[in-house]
Amino acid sequence: MASNADFVQYIADQCSGAGEIVAKKMFGDYGIYCDGKIFGLICDDHFYLKPTDAVREMLRTIDMRPPYPGAKPYFYIADVDDHGYLTALVKETCKHLPKPKPRKKK
């Protein structure tokens, strides 16, 4: 089951205080980016955040789940209605992720 476009936009809006948020369709669902860094996935209308030690301390509840079969576990974020909370989680996650690799020109 793919994610609903309205849900994807809602998550992007909820995270918008962290930077430039873009959701890109991939593998039938979505990758979600902040300022060019992929920080999470939206799969089957669920939001998953890349795990980092710093964010683990900020989570209200720690729920690790694979976003799709065969994937490594991500933080499953059930509380998607708190804009300030999601913004803080995304900002902290992105601080600890590597910069995106430059794309090679063809």
CA distance 57 to 60: 8
Taking the domains of the chain in order of start, what are their residue ranges? 5-96
- Which CATH superfamily includes the segment(s) 5-96? YgaC/TfoX-N like chaperone (3.30.1460.30)
DSSP element (H, E) containing 30: strand 29-34
Give per-residue pLDDT as tens, 12-64. Answer: 999 999 999 999 998 789 999 999 999 999 999 999 999 999 999 999 999 99
Query: Whole-prediction pTM value?
Result: 0.90
- State phi, psi for 26 to the nearest 5 degrees: -155, 135
